[in-house]
Amino acid sequence: MAETLNPEALSSLSPEYLAEDYHEIWWRWNVALTVIVTVIYILFVISRLFFARYNGWEVWTLYPLSYVSCIGLCILYFLAVARGGAGKHLVYWEIHNPKIIPIYLKLQTASEFLYMLDVSLPKVCIIILYLRIFTERWIRLITKIVLGIVISNYVAIGIIAVLVVCRPFAYKWDKTIDGHCSDLMNSYRYTSLPNIITDVAILILPFPMLYKLQVSPARKFGIFLTLLTGSLGLITAIARFVEYLKPDWMTDPMYAGNKPIILGIIEAHTYFICSCLPEMRPLARGIYRKFKPHKVKEFPYNSGPSFRPVGSNSYGSSVGNIHGNHKTSISALRGQHDDYSKGFEIPAVIQLDKTVHVNYSQKRALPRDMV
């Protein structure tokens, strides 16, 4: 970052260059992401509160914390635009109001803490969902290892690295004191790599479970799509990493950092949205059941309660404990019919019986919200 101004260099700057401003782009992205994550979180709460059969502890702890963290990141960048001069060239503020620059750098430092929290909490939520689904011991072990890596990555990069990248810590925004900073661009690049690696791990973890799952191919594909949404943050993580591979923009962070910083905001919010989508399946299922067309079945025979076999449902099928050997039957009972006038004889009872063995195992059973 430039610390002094060369008068000759200043004279070569055109008014058009100094007038360049990207603050509206920052503002629009922040407004859009604030609205989107708020709507998604409201739908998430509705889904879990009114439609889900079971809610884990993370639904009322980690998810609210993740949402607040996302909104906090948006607030920081709102302040970066309104109070920190984000969007204009650094040299513009060095000429007109140098006091703005430390404000921006402080807000940027605070955003680095929240960014890592924003990308870590949703991954923890997704992995907890996996642990609730997976039954194979070795898959659960690998899942727990990935969980440990995510948490360790947050502590190492999201807390320790941010605190020690500049010594003393205040030198990051106050260049009037003695100090030095490590290569900030490399620190940002290396931050993205662990995120990409853990995203890939989260993406491939469900495959062994889905391969062995004893459901129809269509339902298996639907479950895969549901779990796949939890890894869509991989796309934004790669885009952000590619942007950080470009030449150093830290010499003009308030202007040249426009695209990578906005990608970072999008990435953080994408993780939260993706972590909510699998948990919104109960809401989607409830809406589908409410609005799907219902097929009306007509039964020409009288199948009132007085004709139902004991222990049977309205269709004559035996109900009760699903374990062991069972006798199931389908009955058609005599009643009024128009064909009587034509001389057709209708039997009093037609009953088909078959004894079947039901072997139910909870192995590889998914939570009801997933199926």
Tens digits of residue pLDDT in 280-307? 989 988 888 888 765 544 444 444 444 4
- Residue 58: per-residue pLDDT: 94
What mean pLDDT is reported for the chain?
78
76 Cα distance to chain centroid? 22
Confidence of residue 217 (pLDDT cuts 50, 70, 90): confident
Mean pLDDT of the 330-344 span: 45
- Residue 85: per-residue pLDDT: 92
Res. 66: pLDDT tops 70: yes
Res. 232: pLDDT tops 80: no
- Residue 241: per-residue pLDDT: 86
Quote the strand ranges of the chain, DSSP E.
166-167, 180-181, 324-333, 349-358
280, with CB counted inside 10 A (0-12, 13-18, 19+), is buried
Res. 81: pLDDT tops 70: yes
Beta strand 349-358 pairing with 180-181: unpaired
The sign of the CA dihedral 276, 281, 287, 293 is positive
Confidence of residue 219 (pLDDT cuts 50, 70, 90): confident
Distance CA 102, CA 3 (A): 12
323 Cα distance to chain centroid? 38
Cα–Cα nearest to 45, from 203, 279, 205: 279
Range with lowest mean pLDDT among 196-205, 235-244, 263-272, 316-325: 316-325
66, with CB counted inside 10 A (0-12, 13-18, 19+), is buried
- Residue 358: per-residue pLDDT: 52
- Residue 39: per-residue pLDDT: 97
Q: State percent of the chain over pLDDT 90.
A: 37
Q: State percent of the chain over pLDDT 70.
A: 74
Res. 312: pLDDT tops 80: no
Res. 92: pLDDT tops 80: yes
Distance CA 47, CA 369 (A): 10
Cα–Cα nearest to 271, from 25, 40, 26, 28: 40
Distance CA 249, CA 293 (A): 57
Confidence of residue 100 (pLDDT cuts 50, 70, 90): very high
Higher pLDDT residue, 246 or 94?
A: 94
Query: How many Cα atoms occupy the beta-carbon half-sphere of 196 within 13 Å?
Result: 13
- Burial annotation 8-41 (CB, 10 A radius, 16+ → b, else e): eeeeeeeeeeeeeebbeebbebbeebbeebeebb
Which amino acid appears at position 157 of this protein?
Answer: I
Res. 229: pLDDT tops 50: yes
Mean pLDDT of the 101-120 span: 93
**For residue 78, what is the enclosing H or E element?**
helix 62-82
- Residue 230: per-residue pLDDT: 61
Res. 205: pLDDT tops 70: yes
Higher pLDDT residue, 302 or 209?
A: 209
Distance CA 270, CA 230 (A): 9
**Encoding tokens for residue 160?**
């320790």
67, with CB counted inside 10 A (0-12, 13-18, 19+), is buried
**Three-state secondary-structure class, residue 248:** coil
pLDDT single digits (tens) 266-279: 989 999 998 998 88
- Residue 5: per-residue pLDDT: 53
Looking at mean pLDDT, say which of 110-114, 245-249, 339-343 comes out highest: 110-114
Cα–Cα nearest to 89, from 31, 23, 184: 23
240 Cα distance to chain centroid? 18
**Three-state secondary-structure class, residue 177:** coil
Mean pLDDT of the 4-24 span: 73
pLDDT single digits (tens) 234-252: 888 888 888 888 776 778 8
- Residue 144: per-residue pLDDT: 95
Range with lowest mean pLDDT among 74-83, 128-137, 222-231: 222-231
Architecture of domain 13-290: Up-down Bundle (1.20)
Confidence of residue 95 (pLDDT cuts 50, 70, 90): confident
Cα–Cα nearest to 52, from 364, 292, 288, 284: 284
- Residue 306: per-residue pLDDT: 43
- Helices assigned H by DSSP within 247-365: 253-256, 258-276, 281-291
- Domain definitions of the chain by residue range: 13-290, 305-354
Mean pLDDT of the 65-85 span: 94
Res. 346: pLDDT tops 50: no
Res. 121: pLDDT tops 90: yes
Looking at mean pLDDT, say which of 227-241, 311-325, 357-371 comes out highest: 227-241
Distance CA 13, CA 92 (A): 10
